[in-house]
Structure 1
């Protein structure tokens, strides 16, 4: 285990080629992730938020090498995953796991719980015989609050919340260091969502897990995250400690997202900021700032220049020219586009 952040992402791009014509030639590329950089400290939770189609899930999968990257680097515990062969990568797989969004589609309907949860031990050769495998599966069910007699059942015999508990159990079976949770509660009833979130928080505390938590629900993200990264059209437009982001968002897109979050007290409702139009296509992103066609505060400069992430102090950074003046007082120079070098040094420690 090395010192420093557990996960380091530098200039990561994931472009999917678009083919057309009789010969199937490449006519363009969908820029799902377009130059993203950030670090994740050990034991912290980085929340990743944004509209549907902004590239959150693709980014989550690229972190684990489940989709190939076009450019950039992903370093896990000091090792560059983007430069490793599948054979060299396999020993690290047990330390990096994914919780999928849909618990109904991510469990094999023909397998029993015993086999679903026991399979990781078989693949990595960690169970010394059927007895130890059985004990490990039983311990996972105990941790998830599920009865041990569930071992002989199949996924269709469980509710949505119970299935997601099984997905989480499978992800933590090998005691990983990093878990990417890709919208783990969006397919669940509201009454079950809090239970799953509390379970994830408890597991992090007990096992020292590091999370990249992808979600739409900004209230949930605020509750679980140490820091929050806001994505728009494949890029991070704001990155900050959770409390700072919710207290004073700097990017107009972040401000609009937070203005749409319901406030339980009608006497303290915040003004609603409406964003016109739809997100541009990642196949043909606009020049300059990608948000400028929808931004109510766009300037002429925004139409031609892409703003870097300006450091604002306290680990806060925003990719907006409106933050440039404040950045001059907080740091000597802006960060590289999509980068967070220097910002993380100011970030509070996790926990």
Structure 2
């Protein structure tokens, strides 16, 4: 794995205007993503976690320009994506793909698997001739562990896990560099989830893929991720190598999330950190630290100032004033904008 970031995000914002009244004028904006900065290194898996509504799915789609950013910079393999037209982006589309959460809704019910998997090659002018395209499609079905007879069947004839395998096959058909997996297992049975996760890990190892893996299941994220970013109300509040984050979380919100993970041992004593209230509305976020209305350690400063991501060493950073003292012991990492600095080299994904 090289040290050159495949994806560089700086101060990314995605705001959705809220309109009302007779003339439909904008009366505010939902700040779904509000100043995110991060790097994704080629070959790694960056896990993205947080409560529902925190903006992680919007961030994942904005990285691929499927949702238009309001402000900020997205650089993919050295090329700036923001500001480019859809026609200019088309050559890059084959290198950036998305695995959707709902495998049934993401597949055309009127197309067979043969047509679904052959469509990317036709759109991008690859696999010349019908024979070559058929070979590519057959190889994808084999890689997914599906029988060849599946080629002439429709999406409704498959189970949820099989449909997700078809969605993954379509995503990797053109051998992309980056795959954003938007909660790829949340709609599946627990018995199938491990199979899909292991399939993604095997594909990464075989094809050198880079993942942004969005999920709610913190144990799955720990298993697949090289690093983990924790989002709260449109911002990244903690970013660290997976092993370090799970062993020593530094942000109170991350600590609360991890304390809620079920432990498969009824005799094991554990301390649950309860977070009062509900997440604030992204239409009217609180001033200062967005987590301060629910944080047990909130200070007056938290209500007035927004904490930056303090670098804590070894690629770990946290947006909490409680970490400021530790950050002073670490030389600050330069950044080209936004809140996140360039992180230390990640280890190979497990």
The worse-fitting range, judged by mean Cα deviation, of 272-281 and 79-88 is: 79-88
Describe the superposition over 1:216-249 as per-residue Cα deviations: whole angstroms up to 9, x where unpaired: 0000000000000000000000000000000000
Give the number of aligned pairs: 348
Q: What SS class does the counterpart of residue 179 from structure 2 fall into?
A: strand
Query: Conserved in 2, the CA contact under 8 Å of 1:309 and 1:337?
Result: no
Query: Conserved in 2, the CA contact under 8 Å of 1:309 and 1:336?
Result: no
Aligned to 1:139: 139
Identify unmatched segments of 5+ residues in structure 2: none
Query: Conserved in 1, the CA contact under 8 Å of 2:113 and 2:150?
Result: yes
Query: Conserved in 2, the CA contact under 8 Å of 1:98 and 1:171?
Result: yes
Aligned to 1:20: 20
CA distance in 1, matches of 2:223, 2:333: 32
Cα 1:85–1:334 change in 2 (3 A) is closer
Aligned to 2:281: 281
TM-score by length of 2: 0.97
Query: Conserved in 2, the CA contact under 8 Å of 1:308 and 1:335?
Result: no
CA distance in 2, matches of 1:266, 1:319: 34
CA distance in 2, matches of 1:334, 1:256: 30
CA distance in 2, matches of 1:335, 1:321: 20
Pairwise CA distance, 1:84: 1.4
TM-score by length of 1: 0.96
Query: Conserved in 1, the CA contact under 8 Å of 2:237 and 2:319?
Result: yes
Aligned to 1:348: 346
CA distance in 1, matches of 2:253, 2:335: 19
Query: Conserved in 2, the CA contact under 8 Å of 1:127 and 1:133?
Result: yes
Pairwise CA distance, 1:338: 5.2
CA distance in 1, matches of 2:294, 2:348: 34
- Asked whether 1:84 is paired with 2:84, we answer yes
CA RMSD of the aligned region, Å?
Answer: 1.6
CA distance in 2, matches of 1:230, 1:84: 29
Q: What SS class does the counterpart of residue 202 from structure 2 fall into?
A: helix
Describe the superposition over 1:239-294 as per-residue Cα deviations: whole angstroms up to 9, x where unpaired: 00000000000000000000000112334443100000000000000000000000
Query: Conserved in 2, the CA contact under 8 Å of 1:308 and 1:336?
Result: no
Pairwise CA distance, 1:107: 0.5
Q: What SS class does the counterpart of residue 98 from structure 1 fall into?
A: strand
Q: What are the equivalent positions in structure 2 for 1:1-351 lying under 5 Å apart?
A: 4-332=4-332, 339-342=339-342, 344=343, 346-351=344-349
Q: What SS class does the counterpart of residue 105 from structure 2 fall into?
A: coil
Pairwise CA distance, 1:88: 1.1
Q: What SS class does the counterpart of residue 213 from structure 1 fall into?
A: strand
CA distance in 1, matches of 2:68, 2:314: 33
Query: Conserved in 1, the CA contact under 8 Å of 2:10 and 2:337?
Result: no
CA distance in 2, matches of 1:178, 1:102: 20
CA distance in 2, matches of 1:14, 1:291: 19
Query: Conserved in 2, the CA contact under 8 Å of 1:289 and 1:306?
Result: yes
Pairwise CA distance, 1:87: 1.1
Cα 1:333–1:97 change in 2 (3 A) is closer
Q: What SS class does the counterpart of residue 6 from structure 1 fall into?
A: strand
